[in-house]
Structure 1
């Protein structure tokens, strides 16, 4: 073997181990690179299963909500109001407002929910003065509502509000409140004096609730131009009579009898609740004079 051939073999022998080591290193690197790929694939598979679980849980929750019964509330007893100017009998009107003409119906966008009527009378006695009377009946009906509650309970809350309003009328003197029996499910009388330049007005306000309807009767009288002041007790009796007839008219309009006791289960106001003060809208009669 020539010297040149031996030198070439020696060089080749030196390169072969390096080549072998390079090949082994390449295989190791390729294998190492494959590991993250497998881990990523496994991670994706795991995440996919988690998403599927969330979607399934969401679907089950939605199905559960769909299957749950909707909230309900007991329907209101009364669905309409009577014609407001006919709730007081002609005989009673003749006694309370003897010189009054036909009633004046109040404005309302929905007479099945809110309605009212008023009458006024001026009995002129010449130099002896005159007697003034003013009567007003207003009705407000409440529907049962899932979010707000049952109609009779909503009416009860409004009944208490009306009492507070009447008990603190602006300028009212000698305010007195008393329960009224035999009229609707709960009723109270608020009475007071209201002095004006024309004379002293004796105001009587009866607030009553029958089922889901609140009826408010305002009745006042005054002796003008020197005539005597009317008797407050007589006016109170007249106001209660008108309120009782109005309650009966509400019940009749809905095909029911007008009971005198609590029929709806709503709590009746206590004596303390009927004595709480607030503002009143019952000063209107004096303004009309």
Structure 2
């Protein structure tokens, strides 16, 4: 009896071992799964709560020039007297504009009559367009540069132009091109167009002349020389207008 009871005890003990191991195994696996799920939930939670990091965008470069000079004062009275002799109005005629700080034009014309020596006609137009920096399209200088390229190409196919020549012109703003050509509408005209860019301002200067009543034809080289000089003067006027607009720097307090 005692031997049977002892054997039964050993059988039950051995039979119970797998059950305990199985339960422990299940308990351990359950713990691991629970921990993994917890980690996943915790990671998802922290990931969801974390705000996406964004790099700060670079600030758009501010346009160099914020205004334009008065269009009819871009060149001096002496210049007008020289290149548009006998001008009808030495003060010029300004075109209407809704925003003179961004777009402006002035024209002059004159007929110098010399009796039996004939007459000389001259016409001058100076147009200015200023471009602001805009996030959607770029900086003012880049916008002006793009428009400069377009206007030069457009000028190269001017309707009615004959013997057209286009050459880069150094020393005039940041970039410039001078175009010369002749036209026969309303007389034999010698024409010069200078397209120049000064930072974010585009300048287009048109200058032409014609001779009447037996006068000698205008000297094309002289017209070009005068047009380039007037364009340089205009560039200087744009710069001066913006220098004048800048607020004066107040002196810093003395250290002490």
What interval of TM-score do these two structures reach, taking the shorter chain for normalisation? 0.7 to 0.9
- Relative to the length of structure 2, the TM-score reads 0.73
- Asked if 1:225 is matched to 2:213, the reply is yes
- Which of 70, 90, 94 aligns to 1:105? It is 94
Q: Is the 8 A contact 1:71 1:146 kept in 2?
A: no
2:113 and 2:55 mapped to 1: Cα distance?
A: 69
Match of 1:142 in 2: 131
Residue in structure 1 matched with residue 243 of structure 2 by the alignment? 255
Could you tell me whether the CA contact under 8 Å between 1:175 and 1:191 is conserved in 2?
Answer: yes
Task: Provide the C-alpha distance between the structure 2 equivalents of 1:146 and 1:164, rounded to a whole number of angstroms.
Answer: 26
Per the TM alignment, residue 226 of structure 1 is displaced from its structure 2 partner at its CA by: 3.0
Query: 1:38-117 to 2 correspondence within 5 Å?
Result: 57=48, 60=50, 63-64=51-52, 69-70=56-57, 72-100=59-87, 101=89, 102-117=91-106
CA distance in 1 between partners of 2:121 and 2:72 (Å): 20
**After the TM superposition, which residues 127-276 of structure 1 pair with which residues of structure 2 at under 5 Å, given as runs?**
127-196=116-185, 198-255=186-243
Residues in 1 aligned to 2:104 and 2:63: alpha-carbon distance in whole angstroms: 18
Q: Tell me by how many angstroms 1:127 deviates.
A: 4.8
Shift, 1:71, TM fit: 5.4
CA distance in structure 1 between the partners assigned to 2:150 and 2:232 by the alignment = 20
- Deviation (angstroms), 1:128: 4.1
Instruction: Please give the secondary structure, in 1, of the residue aligned with 2:144.
Output: helix
- In structure 2, runs of 5+ residues without a counterpart are 1-40, 245-256
Which whole-Å deviations, capped at 9, do the CAs of 1:172-199 have from their partners, x for residues lacking one?
Answer: 0000011211110111100000112x42
Q: CA RMSD of the aligned region, Å?
A: 2.3
Larger radius of gyration: 1
Aligned residues: 202
Unaligned runs of 5+ in 1: 1-49, 257-289
SS in 2 for 1:91: helix
Spell out structure 1 runs of 4+ moving beyond 4 A: none
Q: TM-score, normalised by structure 1?
A: 0.65
d(CA) in 2 for partners of 1:188, 1:89: 23
